[in-house]
Structure 1
Amino acid sequence: MPTKTNRERYSPREIRIRRWFERQIEGLGEKALKYGLDPLGQVLAGPLRLKPDLRPQRAIVVLSGGIRSTGHLNATSRARLQHAARLHQANPEALFVVCGGPRRPGRPVSASAMAEMAQNLGVPAEQILEEGLSSRTAENAEEASLLLRERDIRSATLVTSALHMRRARLCFTAQQIQIHPAPVDRIEGEPPARASLISQTLHEWLGLAYYRARTWL
């Protein structure tokens, strides 16, 4: 998959599609809550969840869950970093890769804030690599895989939300990186669907379909 320039990544059409998609997911979540359908999310979530594999690897890769316009990481990102830092304590020789660029031009870069928090959690600065170019999961995988292959690393522990893990692992597999899942439970009240499990699972299923259509998997 060729690397996108910032101009391609942040094209007006791309931003409009992303915003429309997010609005639809939010609307579905509200309707699910209104009509009592949210428990259906547990059924939809089942195939998305992957069994953890916490065997030590040469690298731990952490995907951003979001950053606010103030530059503060949201609760999802913080939970992922806390989990990853605990894994690093048990495997202190591992490289620690933090992934996440600005969602749109002029917005904060997640990776920088993640690296700072990782150091505060005890990860040595010299073991942290920042991937601050990506704006979506497929780009997380592409950019992080480049960093790993440069260091002759072909497998890694991946830390992301449990519902997001299947799509994320497929993206890394497409980049010839073997992934060992280290999922984190979802955080209530965080995007893309505040307090609605069914819309979070729909977000992932639609995301999988879209990624397959774009041949990113």
Structure 2
Amino acid sequence: MIFSNQLLFYYVSGWWEGELERTEKVDHYDGIILLGGFSNYRSQSDRIQFTQSTDRMNQALSLYKQGKADWFVFSGGSARIIVKERMEGEFLKGYLHLMGIPNDSLLVEWQSRNTHENAVETKKMLCAHGIENGKFLLVTSGFHMKRALGCFKKEGINVDSFKTDALQSYLPPDFADAITPSAGTLAMWERLFREWVGYVVYKMKGFVL
């Protein structure tokens, strides 16, 4: 009854994520860093399948098209250990080019398996192109931003946040919703709990500032 309450989740998720940044207030950056985890490749149908976090990509593409950055950086491989799959960056590189990102402005890595490795591999890539001292805009899901931002700052990358696909609904639940148990809300707590555990583990390992 407690964790199926939509009003409670609205305030807790909002406390953790914070408000989404306003696009018009975003300054110009040397690059946009987009974190993966929003797509997979279905070999049976030979196509990319996008998931619920695709707002990350849509917002990053929109920012780039508005001239908010010179470089577009993507970081994401695969977290699977036993079952091998095609790496996310590998198949998204062509898609991002198809969406209008020129090859001479696009940096992609697909060796990383988690958020810590996203930061490590991205730093290597930025150093290889001599832009490691630039200022970057980090784009990922709202619930994931605290851990991601901590990892990238730990690696010495100068980043600001641009949160996407917030777990918090864009409007508070009305009275009827606030008193009606919601199975969907109950399921959404899992994402917050997993992220909280992940953040604590990363803090213990020294992966985040």
Contiguous gaps of at least 5 residues in structure 1? 1-30, 189-193
SS of equivalent residue, structure 2 residue 163:
coil
- Offset of residue 73 of structure 1: 4.1
Partner of 2:4: 36
Amino acid at match of 1:153: E
What amino acid does structure 2 have at the position aligned with 1:170?
G
**CA distance 1:126–1:73, shift in 2 (3 Å):** farther
Contact 1:81 1:114 in 2 (8 A): no
In the aligned structure 2, how far is the partner of 1:77 from the partner of 1:174?
25
Structure 1 stretches of 4+ moved >4 Å: none
Instruction: Name the structure 1 match of 2:196.
Output: 205
CA RMSD in angstroms comes to 2.6
Q: Hey, what does 1:185 align to over in structure 2?
A: 165
Is 1:169 paired with 2:137? no
Higher Cα radius of gyration: 2
* Contact kept in structure 1, 2:97 and 2:103, CA below 8 Å: yes
Distance 2:167 2:5 in 1: 19
How much has 1:92 moved relative to structure 2? 6.8
Deviations 1:24-57, CA, capped at 9 Å, x for gaps: xxxxxxx97xx62454333332343255362111
Percent of residue pairs identical = 23
Query: How far apart, in 2, do the equivalents of 1:179 and 1:103 lie?
Result: 24
Instruction: Show the counterpart of 1:26.
Output: none
Aligned residue number for residue 141 of structure 1: 119
Instruction: Give the drift of 1:102.
Output: 2.0
Q: 1:165 to 1:104 in 2, by over 3 A?
A: same
Partner SS state of residue 183, structure 1: strand
Q: 1:122 aligns to what?
A: 100
Letter in 2 for 1:49: E
Alignment partner, residue 178 of structure 2: none
**From 98, 113, 134, the counterpart of 2:91:** 113
Whether contact under 8 Å (1:42, 1:197) holds in the other structure is no
Please say which of residues 159-168 and 69-78 is displaced more in the overlay.
69-78
Shift of 1:77: 5.1
Letter in structure 2 aligned against 1:212: K
The 1:76/1:160 distance shift into structure 2, 3 A limit, reads farther
Structure 1 stretch 105-114 or stretch 157-166: which is displaced more?
A: 105-114
Deviations 1:165-217 (A, max 9, x none): 111000001001121111111489xxxxx763322222221111011122211
Determine which structure has the larger helix proportion and give its number.
Answer: 1
Size of the aligned set, in residue pairs, is 180
Letter in 2 for 1:61: I
What is the letter of the counterpart of residue 152 of structure 1?
I
TM-score by length of 2: 0.75
Give per-residue Cα distances to partners, 1:110-137, cap 9 Å, x unaligned. Answer: 1122222212221112211111000101
Alignment gaps of 5+ in structure 2: 169-183
